[in-house]
Structure 1
Amino acid sequence: MMTQVAYQAPDILTMAYKQPVMQDQLVLLQEKEQQIPGSVQYSIKRYSKNPQWSLDDMGMMVYHYKKEDPTRNFLELRFCVAGNVYCKKKDIECDSCKLNATPGCSERIDTVDVLSFRFLPVHLSQFARPRRTDSTVSDDLLEFRHLSSFSKTLSICGRTRMVLETLLNHSHTGSHENIYINAQSQMLLLYSLECMVGEKEVEGFQCKFLANEADREKIVQAREILLQHIGEPLTIKELSRKVAINECYLKKGFKEMFGTTIFDFYQGQRMEHARYLLYEKGLSVTEVSVMLGYSSISHFSTAFKKHTGLKPCELLLH
């Protein structure tokens, strides 16, 4: 019986450069790899960009299917982007950075950034609809019903580029970083699946006020605040005051920019953080319930099961 050869996807850096890249050509400036429990496994590698290099920004979806061993199935997003900068004194934040006086700064280096986000079936299944006759391409991929491995290049739209830049430049650490990476990687998954099924990027916004960059920034800021207050539930009114925007505009703008309601986004991130605290940190159900601001354990347990399909105590047994 012949052993099935594992699918090998093309190297995205080689594709972006349009020729093989030798290891001795690469100067690694920064590298980060991490597995967020029950969620995404990601890596970020930042290389010094050779001034003579000409690269195309590129995205790729890799779908790995193993019929004989479903535990080895995964969906991976890869991105290669150039044109960003890496500062040697990022952690110190020198005066030039504070004044945004970046041109000519000897501490800043042009980069080529390679990012990878790998999703496993156990995590993706929460997003798929139950099997039905009108299943979409996205449903088949999220449920691993497509029966052969493949890779597909993806265009990097403005929304995807914005997410990638925030991932390269954020300052979150510890559990806040896990929350942030998880949220941003889900946005990348959404935009990539939209690209995969052929949906074209909308040049304009249906909400006319989003044509204003300052208003778009307020919506982005609102999302950041939600991520920073996972254990301190905020009302729409409180959130709108924090970012100085009308409640109605905030709700409509958030839904259009991020494809989900404020409540659904916030609730999903809280439950992902709860999963992390229970499974990785070993906290009790009572401790996590209190940390996330729930008035009773039963309310927390109900919300957790609705999101993950398991009661908190059942997760601890897995």
Structure 2
Amino acid sequence: MKLHIQEACPLFELSYNISGEIYCEWNGKESHTEKQMGNVLFLEDVQVYEEKKAGIPNQLLEIRLAPSELLYYAEDLSERQQMETWLRHHRGNIDRYPDTAAIRKCVSEMIHCTYRGTLRRLYMESKALEFIALFGESDGYGSMSGTMTLRHDDITNLKRAHELVQIHFEQPLSIRELSKRVGINEFKLKKGFRELFGMTIFELVRIKRMEKALWYMEVEGLNIGKTAVSVGYSNVSNFTTTFRKHYGCNPSEYLKSYRTTEFGAKQTVD
């Protein structure tokens, strides 16, 4: 399914993709959303191209509102300015936000709401506000002191840092070592990395580890213990916890489902 969506008015949206895949392109930028992934967008007067693959069920939770609705909750001028700074951080972008157990729980409760009529509306509105608050907590609201001005060489250094993080994700470089290698101070590295790529260095390491974990289990056929060690986890329990947070199920459950699907596909081919 291919859509061209014209966002004519200011729109602030939080979404959580429960199943399926979504590709978006706007103003020369692009994003690819997979299952168990959340995005925040703040767009105005822009056309978004959206594409979803055929034959794959899509289930997506979206909370949409005008940015002015968020400012309504600011108690004073200082708080309003802080909130405006937070909004500017995401203006013109579709950014991935950190996935947390609390956010997943809130999403599940909204999806499986059994109330009807007035009670349902009250429940969903309260949960929407809870979702926004949880997003703000995970996104670092309250700790932003404004966006950082990045020079051309800063961006070049940060992109190099991004490459190094992906190369060394199994045995991550320390912030200090990474800072030395790319020639940028630790503060600018951490804050600039988040502003440029929409995630922290730790989050990128976790994403790359989880992606490689699937490869080890599916392609190499490694068991859970060997997979954990191969992607840099000395403790299988820590690996299982991170895997469950990232994919919404334990590695053993994933492997069981994958093998069942693979076996069924082979039988169909035969």
TM-score range, shorter chain: 0.3 to 0.5
- The structure with the largest helix share of the pair is 2
Task: State TM-score, norm by structure 2.
Answer: 0.46
Task: State TM-score, norm by structure 1.
Answer: 0.40
